[in-house]
Amino acid sequence: MLTGFQLRAARAVLNVFTKDLGESIGLHYSTLVRLEEKTPNLSYLKCNSRTLLLITNYFEHNGLLFPNKEKIALKKHMDSNIQLVSENDLTRFQLKTARIAMRLSQKLLGEYIGLSQSTLSELEGAGSNTDFIKCDEIKVKHIKSFFMKNGIFFPDHFSVELIDDPIIIKSTKKTI
């Protein structure tokens, strides 16, 4: 089974457009758009078994795992003994996945955590998914704290877990 959060996050992490994903797995892109838009974060996709297998297999083939309905992880690092540098570190994968879980644009997330859209774009886009984001430890702690207050946790550097479905922030007037 795959949830709305996992579909949106996996596609975003791999930088795959719905049209390209659909072509790769033999589905019409409108099916994928419908599944993404209509499925809440922690609800399972409502589709037939074939469609679900096509989507899941594509993402697993491209290095992502879905250990349970609340979690997404990078496959190649699940069983590795990579030394964690600090609990205050955050990977590019985690930043992007957490932002997508909250359905926030880079601009809106930046307004909440005090970073510019261009800075967030650079943090998410520079390097591989396993790279640690490059900014000072205080900012990383602030970013992680923001997500954790919204029910998003980072059990290790290569996974993201939703404890609660995050409240989707619509207004730019709120502060953290």
CA dihedral 130, 165, 68, 3 (to 10 degrees): -90
CATH of residue 118: 1.10.260
Q: Tell me how far apart the alpha carbons of residues 31 and 20 are, in angstroms, rounded to a whole number.
A: 13
Residue 38 lies in a domain: yes
Residue pair 173/112 in contact (Cβ under 8 Å)? The answer is no
pLDDT at 46: 92
Residue pair 131/92 in contact (Cβ under 8 Å)? The answer is yes
pLDDT at 172: 45
CATH of residue 48: 1.10.260.40
Q: What domain range includes position 127? A: 92-162
Query: Are both 8 and 55 inside the same structural domain?
Result: yes
Cα–Cα distances in angstroms (integers) from residue 172 to residues 4, 7, 17, 175, in the given order: 24, 26, 27, 8
pLDDT at 173: 43
Beta bridge partners of 161: 71, 153
pLDDT at 174: 43
Residue 175 lies in a domain: no
Q: Tell me how far apart the alpha carbons of residues 40 and 118 are, in angstroms, rounded to a whole number.
A: 28
Task: Give the pTM.
Answer: 0.82
Residue 176 lies in a domain: no
Residue 78 lies in a domain: no
Query: Are both 63 and 103 inside the same structural domain?
Result: no
**Assigned token pair, 109:** 């997330």
pLDDT at 26: 94
The residues, any chain, with a CB within 8 Å of residue 24's CB and separated by 6 or more, are 16, 58
Pairing assessment for the beta strands 152-153 and 159-162 based on DSSP bridges: antiparallel
pLDDT at 82: 52
- Domain tally, the chain: 2
Residue 157 lies in a domain: yes
Q: How far is CA 16 from the centre of its chain?
A: 13
Per-residue pLDDT of the chain (176 residues; tens, 9 = 90+): 899 999 999 998 898 999 999 999 999 989 999 998 888 888 899 999 999 999 999 999 999 999 998 999 998 655 455 545 466 788 888 999 999 988 899 999 999 988 889 888 888 876 666 677 777 777 888 899 999 999 999 988 889 999 877 766 554 444 43
pLDDT at 1: 85
